[in-house]
Amino acid sequence: MKPAPFAYFAPHNLDEALDLLAQHGYDGKVLAGGQSLIPTMNFRLAQPAALVDINRVAELAFLDEDAGGGLRIGALTRQRTLERSAAVASRAPLLHATMPYIAHVQIRNRGTLGGSLAHADPAAELPAVMVALGARFRLQSRRGARWVAAADFYIGLFTTALQEDELIAEIEIPAMPARAGWSIQEIARRHGDYAIVGVAAVVELDPAGLCRAARLIYFSVGEGPTAAPSAAAVLLGQPADDGVIAAAARAAAQQDIDPLGDIHATPAYRRHLVEVLGRRALQEAFGRAVQA
């Protein structure tokens, strides 16, 4: 099927892009990689009156290592660039390990980090990974800039904190703390398909080897990235042995996550995966933390 007609704008810098977004408001839509937007337009599920194509806004495509050991990534950075970046591999290994799960190489050649984060598909990996990493996003409009934590950015199904005149300009990923570990786990029908259930984990140990912090962020189980606070409460202050990890994963499945069913999986199967993947993620993350 073919998209409905729209007015097309291809600004050459961020100021022009923000002017256009301010001008077109609700009827305007940012076109970045287009790997989710254009299929939606082909199906005419979306019929934006105006597209602001930011692909020529070179100032949104950057990947910098900051002095504190973290990363600053421009929203227009292609997913394939992240996948191949040595800086991402060393400073944000969870993000590096996540990239092959995201669709296929043809999609990652076009798809952008900011586009996936702003699209907020509940089955997408990147939003959950950003919450697990404690990242924050710089939202830019003609009114100015504001920083929003990834955990506060996701409000509901395909719904974010972005106002209609704003776009994500930059993603800031903090340095991994000392004695921290991570894991990404996902079950999909085939490689590259949307996850039936997935989870990103980041854990931290104190000098005594007890759990100091744990973030277990699921995807494809609700309206957006879904935290598991009960699981984290089971872990805090405890040695990360198999019994504690099993109890935490059980808490995630029984208290934190209430998955829906669809043609891919029943709620009971998803709940089962929440526990199994949670356990695997915690075992791998704590294993890495011990060696960090």
Partner 1 sequence: MQVIDLYTIRLTVNGVAVERSIEPRMLLSDFLRHELNLTGTHVGCEHGSCGACTILMDGAAVRACIMFAVQADGHALTTVEGLSADPDKLHPLQAAFRETHALQCGYCTPGFLMTLVPFLEENPQPDEAAIRDVLSGNICRCTGYQNIVDAVLLAARK
Which residues form the interface with partner 1 (CB under 8 A)?
A: 1-8, 10, 31, 34-35, 38-39, 42-43, 51, 53, 55, 80, 100, 103-107, 109-110, 190-192
Comparison of 98 and 230: residue with beta carbon closer to partner 1: 98
Comparison of 5 and 144: residue with beta carbon closer to partner 1: 5
Comparison of 28 and 222: residue with beta carbon closer to partner 1: 28
Comparison of 35 and 226: residue with beta carbon closer to partner 1: 35
Tell me how far, at minimum, the Cβ of 238 lies from partner 1, in Å: 38
Tell me how far, at minimum, the Cβ of 192 lies from partner 1, in Å: 5
Tell me how far, at minimum, the Cβ of 19 lies from partner 1, in Å: 18
Comparison of 67 and 190: residue with beta carbon closer to partner 1: 190
Tell me how far, at minimum, the Cβ of 63 lies from partner 1, in Å: 17
User: Which pairing describes strands 7-9 and 50-53: parallel, antiparallel, or unpaired?
Assistant: parallel
Tell me how far, at minimum, the Cβ of 118 lies from partner 1, in Å: 17
Tell me how far, at minimum, the Cβ of 186 lies from partner 1, in Å: 14
Comparison of 111 and 225: residue with beta carbon closer to partner 1: 111
